[in-house]
Amino acid sequence: MEFQSIKVRYQKNICFIKFNRNNYKNTITDQLIDEFNYALNKYEHEVTIVVIEGSPDYFCFGADFQGIDNIKNPESLYQLWLNLTSKPYITIAHVQGKVNAGGVGFVAACDIVIANEKALFSLSELLFGLLPACVLPFLIRRVGFQKANYMTLMTHPITVQQAHTWNLVDVYDSHSEKMLRKHLLRLKYIPKSGIMRYKRYASALYDLLYTLKPKALTANHGTFSENGNLEKIKRYIEKGLFPWEEENE
């Protein structure tokens, strides 16, 4: 596959996947999901570590509103996040810059989250009458219900310091690249067989991600089926106005 939405490189037993939609804030499209899955599946049996990265300004800013008709069926994205939590490789999110909506899903699905001091995390869906339905099962696993509830209701970003206190981020540093290298130097020695057994066991300990999948997909479909919500999104795309803002005559 010739990748367009992501950049992929393999370094021995490590796979680096970088969002490559910088002009669109690294937003999520069907093509990005397909390319992501292809990259993960290609060397699933050889790779022991997967590192996910974005740009210095945006890690991933959620679904691409320009392709709003393509995100009514979120099952492939939910399954991608399930794969990050359960497949036989250690997943690391290296976060620089802003993370919003579905981008938080990528972060919460990873085993380890490393960030720099400028990282910001938000769930903006309720501003448009939508729900972070598919994100919440993964986020609650990370931070607990009340903190996920607070992020959903308030919609404004939280700092990396707050995210670290809430366990959304494991470690952060002004030189996050160095922090990432330190982790890779240690993690690369863990054998594939051990990772396979551990991920299988961890998935069994917390199987709610599988149990909640139908509820999450139903809730997501419901919010995107409401014409009023789609109109709010289209208005924001065309005019840059939030639902509560009035147009200037």
Cα distance between the two ends of the chain: 49
* Under 8 Å between Cβ of 95 and 59: yes
Tokens (6 digits) for 179 = 């922090």
Name the amino acid, one letter, at 109.
A
Check 35, 53, 125, 170 and give the catalytic one. Answer: 125
Distance of alpha carbon 58 from alpha carbon 53, whole angstroms: 9
Residue whose pair of structure tokens reads 């959903």 in the numeric block: 152
**Among this protein's residues, is 64 annotated catalytic?**
yes
Distance of alpha carbon 193 from alpha carbon 198, whole angstroms: 9
Calculate ∠ Cα 147-133-171, nearest 5°.
Answer: 40
Check 35, 53, 64, 170 and give the catalytic one. Answer: 64
Closest CA to 116 of 59, 179, 172: 172
Calculate ∠ Cα 81-87-93, nearest 5°.
Answer: 50
* Under 8 Å between Cβ of 19 and 51: no
**Among this protein's residues, is 125 annotated catalytic?**
yes
* Under 8 Å between Cβ of 83 and 103: no
The catalytic residues are: 64, 125
